[in-house]
Amino acid sequence: MSTTFGDRLEEAVTAYGPLCVGIDPHPQLLHRWGLDDDVEGLRRFGDTVVEALAGQVAIAKPQSAFFERHGSAGVAVLEHVLAMLREVGVLSLLDVKRGDVGSTMAAYAEAYLSDGSPLAADAITVSPFLGFGSLAPAFELADATGRGVFVLAMTSNPEGAQVQHARVAADAAGEGGVTVAEEIVSAVAERNAEGGGSGRFGSTGMVVGATVGKDIADLGLAQALADSRAPLLAPGLGAQGADAGDIARGFGPALPLVLPSSSRGILAAGPAPAGLRAAVRQQAAELAGG
């Protein structure tokens, strides 16, 4: 790829706005759309959503698990969806949350970030909770191929705080004592600083839930997020209870970096593509006014 993921994302967000739409074929949603919970239903769902999103949004987020649950045939549909997103010019952020060590992490990176892989996306989500350094193979391959990596930092699930708010022990020199979330924010900011560029976005992003505004305030992280140049994927808009006002208040100075993400809130307007597009426009308007 001739440009960095951060540059391509900035261009797309400038054109279409920051809204990210999840492609989450829940069994209940398939049934609501009048589709069978099988591979054919999965394919028809994916085709309809991508058709509706073309020319409407900057980025879409397929959730790998809902395709994987159908086995190898479901993964083939995911490959098809990723190819379709490329064809219609919508950036793909594949939600896989991979995290491992050594050669295993390198293999995950090759699956999702290498040129020519049928599962290659513009960016993926990864988990840093085996140590931030364990993600090096993903970072290195993403840098080499012009793709992006979004690191889990402050997720909205209540169990996440057990790890993310835990404090790192201070070393002999008294360094440390910050929360795990703060360490992740700092490490991502350092990567984006080393990556250079003067655009709004670096190519290393973070996942920060749309509903964790109080945690951002309690940890004093709003300015650090703003300074990180990290695109901030913020799941939880709509069905999980967050609205445009929550995002604006919670992220404060980091708001220009936020990619608010809605899945069920948009997809519930299907199965007609016109209904989905109307829901996208309504959500985008709310974000612009929030």
Phi, psi of 201 (to 5 degrees): -110, 135
**Distance in angstroms (rounded) separating the CA atoms of residues 72 and 74:** 5
Structure tokens belonging to residue 46: 């994916």
The single residue of 26, 80, 86, 97 carrying the catalytic annotation is 97
CA-to-CA separations, 223 to 27, 128, 136, 229, 251, in angstroms, rounded = 40, 22, 26, 11, 9
- Which residues partner with 259 through β-bridges? 233
SS3 label, residue 147: coil
State which H helix or E strand residue 40 sits in.
helix 39-53
Residue that the structure tokens 């208040």 belong to: 249
- Residue 61 appears among annotated catalytic residues: no
Q: Any idea which residues carry the catalytic annotation?
A: 97
